[in-house]
Amino acid sequence: MAVYNYDVVVLGSGPAGEGAAMNAAKAGRKVAVVDNRPLVGGNCTHLGTIPSKALRHSVRQIMQFNTNPMFRQIGEPRWFSFPDVLKSAEKVIAKQVTSRTGYYARNRIDTYFGTASFADDQTVEVVCLNGVVEKLVAKQIVIATGSRPYRPADVDFRHPRIYDSDTILSLGHTPRRLIIYGAGVIGCEYASIFSGLGVLVDLIDNREQLLSFLDSEISDALSYHLRNNNVLIRHNEEYERIEGVENGVVLHLKSGKKIKADALLWCNGRTGNTDQLGLENIGIAVNSRGQIQVDEYYRTEVSNIYAAGDVIGWPSLASAAADQGRSAAGSIVDNGSWRFVDDVPTGIYTIPEISSIGKTERELTQAKVPYEVGKAFFKGMARAQISVEPVGMLKILFHRETLEVLGVHCFGYQASEIVHIGQAIMNQKGEANSIKYFINTTFNYPTMAEAYRVAAFDGLNRLF
């Protein structure tokens, strides 16, 4: 068994692991990264964010082709299979792996591929993919092993028609009807993807409203457009049992309903990847979902061991994970790069997409904050008309007395890009955070960004 010494060892090469490794290396530390795949990128690149968003983009292009009258001059609408569309995602994954492999090489970061576990609080043993065992000794260790779909014991995921959000990427056919159990972010995104391919989707939600953490108006808009695209949403339902049959799946609900489909996609929660780390050897406990508790510096209960990304829970977003990892390393190297990551925009890649930051109307009303609303509907925006993307709106919530921007909520074309303009203004100090910025600034025309100007005038016109 060979022994190698490092300043920092990072477990996981997803966004959190990469962020931690790069920041530590830039600060002059000797760094190693361990991943249980033969390629870097983590679940984000191989199973989660990248493939699902690449799938969504391809499906959206298909939907545009099939619904835009201009393309009827070329021919009739076309049908594409799920495996065909998946090929575009595979190309993006390969490009991402190539890019990220280059980052580690340029920064002289050693990579080990295998299963890591703690021997003690400064020693990690790696069983490499070729069977060789390596021992890595480090002053500080960052756990960034990510998460995987939660699998309840009473659901038979060995059945060929029952999938989770990881295994769905191996689906070799296009089902005519699909049950998606769980209407969180992942469930809603896949409902958009499959319905866009012409699949009849039953979306089972155990709550009374889709994505209830969103602004209610945005949530209602998502529900409408999913239903308009042949997604049947069933609220306040829970499964009794899931029965895999020869030609499909039967979902038995506690309400007494039975639903049959060609396949079932389980999208109900995630579990931290901590069960193989040997955390019991170093005295770190995890909660019922395998997640590790950290302080504001991303330090665990063992002072030289840090954790970041999905393995610590909220907000479980690739964007936040990268910043959390960078901040964890910032705590280690003390180079001024630490911050507690709580300014996180929500990006939901349904069709149309959703993004928001700040307070919702419900939260402001409950807090008795005197706010006003400014809206811009995309159907009236020149860029949206040119792009044939009329669905959606930008909504700005601002304090009616100080004019401070309190929340930005966007639904529709390029929502995840548009929200960052509002985020930038909300992060300004004092009077610089003002809705007046949007009317005193010249926006390119035509753009989607000028929706801020339209929404600002709409909101200010409500004041008296």
11 and 131 share one domain: yes
271 annotated to bind ligand: no
217 found inside a domain:
yes
Q: Is 188 annotated as a binding residue?
A: yes
State how many domains the chain has: 3
**Does residue 453 share a domain with residue 356?**
yes
Whether residue 328 sits in one domain with residue 185:
no
Has 327 been labeled as part of a binding site?
no
Give the residue among 378, 379, 370, 367 at the shortest CA–CA distance from 397. 370
List the one residue out of 260, 262, 292, 251 whose CA is nearest residue 274: 292
Please state the φ and ψ torsions of residue 24, each to the nearest 5 degrees.
-65, -40
pLDDT tens across the length of the chain (464 residues)? 799 999 999 999 999 999 999 999 999 999 999 999 999 999 999 999 999 999 999 999 999 888 888 887 887 888 889 999 998 899 999 999 999 999 999 999 999 999 999 999 999 999 999 999 999 999 999 999 999 999 999 999 999 999 999 999 999 999 999 999 999 999 999 999 999 999 999 999 999 999 999 999 999 999 999 999 999 999 999 999 999 999 999 999 999 999 999 999 999 999 999 999 999 999 999 999 999 999 999 999 999 999 999 999 999 999 999 999 999 999 999 989 999 999 899 999 999 999 999 999 999 999 999 999 999 999 999 999 999 999 999 999 999 999 999 999 999 999 999 999 999 999 999 999 999 999 999 999 999 999 999 999 999 999 99
Is there a single domain that holds both residue 99 and residue 32?
yes
Question: Which pTM does this prediction carry?
Answer: 0.94
Is 75 annotated to bind a ligand? Reply is no
Dist CA 110 CA 14 (whole Å):
15
Q: Which of 224, 253, 268 is the last residue of a domain?
A: 268
Q: Are β-strands 405-412 and 392-399 bridged in parallel, bridged antiparallel, or unpaired?
A: antiparallel
183 a known binding residue? yes
SS3 content of the chain, % helix, strand, coil (to 5): 35, 25, 40
Q: Is 52 annotated as a binding residue?
A: no
Does 206 appear as a known binding residue? no
407 appears as a binding residue in the annotation: no
Q: With b meaning 16 or more CB within 10 Å and e meaning fewer, what string describes 364-376?
A: beeeeeebbbbeb
Number of neighbours of residue 407 by Cβ within 10 angstroms: 21
Residues 376 and 321 in one domain: no
Q: Is 182 annotated as a binding residue?
A: yes
Gap between the Cα atoms of 447 and 316, Å rounded: 31
Do 8 and 143 lie in one domain? The reply is yes
147 annotated ligand binder: yes
Residue keyed to tokens 């001059």: 73
Does residue 8 sit in the same domain as residue 102?
yes
Cis-peptide, bond into residue 152, ω within 30° of zero: no
What's 366-404 look like in SS3? HCCCCEEEEEEEHHHCHHHHHCCCCCEEEEEEEECCCCC
In a domain, 156, yes or no: no
110 is in an annotated binding site: no
Domain membership of residue 400 as a residue range: 352-461
Is 440 assigned to a binding site?
A: no
Neighbours of 268 (CB within 10 A): 22
Q: How many CB atoms lie within 10 A of CB 450?
A: 20
Query: Quick one: 35 and 177 in the same domain?
Result: no
66: annotated binding-site residue? no
Which domain-ending residue is among 246, 268, 290?
A: 268
274, 311 in Cβ contact below 8 A?
yes
Asked whether residue 37 is marked as a ligand-binding residue, the answer is yes
Is residue 211 located within the same domain as residue 286? no
Q: Output the domain CATH number for residue 443.
A: 3.30.390.30
Is there a binding annotation on residue 53? Answer: yes
Same domain, yes or no: 310 and 431: no
Annotated binding-site residue? 40 = yes
The answer on whether 35 is annotated among ligand-binding residues is yes
44 annotated ligand-binding residue: yes
Residue 113 lies in a domain: yes
194 and 325, same domain (yes or no): no
Q: 49-67 vs 185-196: helix axis angle to the nearest 10?
A: 40
Residue 290 and residue 249 share a domain: no
CB 288 within 8 A of CB 177: no
Task: Find, among 98, 134, 99, 102, the residue nearest to 116 by Cα.
Answer: 134
The C-alpha atoms of residue 143 and residue 279 are separated, in whole angstroms, by: 11
